[in-house]
Amino acid sequence: MNIILLGPPGAGKGTQASHLVETRDMIQLSTGDMLREAKSSGTEMGLKVAAIMDAGELVTDEIVIGLIREKLEGDKKGGFIFDGFPRTLTQADALADLLAEVGEKLDAVVALAVNDDVLVDRIVGRAAEAVAAGGTARADDNEESLKIRLMEYYKKTNALIGYYHAKGNLVWVDGLAEIDAVKAEIAEALG
């Protein structure tokens, strides 16, 4: 089974992806993790990624698709969770083409629905709790930064919602429910 997890920052994608990895033996393909892994790999692709990232430039869609292709051609285990990709319609089309090329398909797009005000309160509260407990919080886990991150997320992904809805892949899940309730809703959606 191959799925995409969509949801704004702090919606719980990482928590739910970890659960799916653990319970369904899926492989989480996080774009950021793949780029960091490639950068330190020493492979031809890794050296290309390192040069681009070290120059402070954005990695092209072509390179990201190349990294995903490498993963798809390896051990498939229980399928793949795409996390952080696609973010644009061009990337969505490229992913669909790649999946078809390697004989795979996209089974579902799970969108975690949230109320932005509740989400911001939750993240800011967690950050404050972490600091109070002697830990640290992300520098951008404050109300103003979170609102900017949310606006950027929606600008980039709104088109994807319509795209996957039209393809019949989109499943909405209440991202603000208790963690176990979200897990159960996702499990039901995936069958």
* Residue tagged active-site, from 24, 76, 87, 167: 87
Answer whether 111's CB lies under 8 Å from 161's CB: yes
Is 87 an annotated catalytic residue? yes
* Residue tagged active-site, from 48, 69, 122, 138: 138
* Residue tagged active-site, from 13, 36, 77, 105: 13
Residue 157 to residues 14, 45, 162: CA-CA distances in angstroms?
A: 18, 27, 9
* Residue tagged active-site, from 48, 69, 76, 126: 126
Is 122 an annotated catalytic residue? no
Backbone angles phi, psi at 145, to 5 degrees: -65, -40
Answer whether 43's CB lies under 8 Å from 96's CB: no
Rounded to whole angstroms, how far apart are CA atoms 44 and 150?
Answer: 35
Is 69 an annotated catalytic residue? no
Helix axes 89-101, 143-166, angle to 10 degrees: 50
- Both tokens assigned to 76: 């498939």
Across 100-117, b (16+ Cβ under 10 Å) vs e yields eeeeeebbbbbbbebeee
* Residue tagged active-site, from 39, 69, 149, 155: 149
Catalytic residues: 13, 87, 126, 138, 149
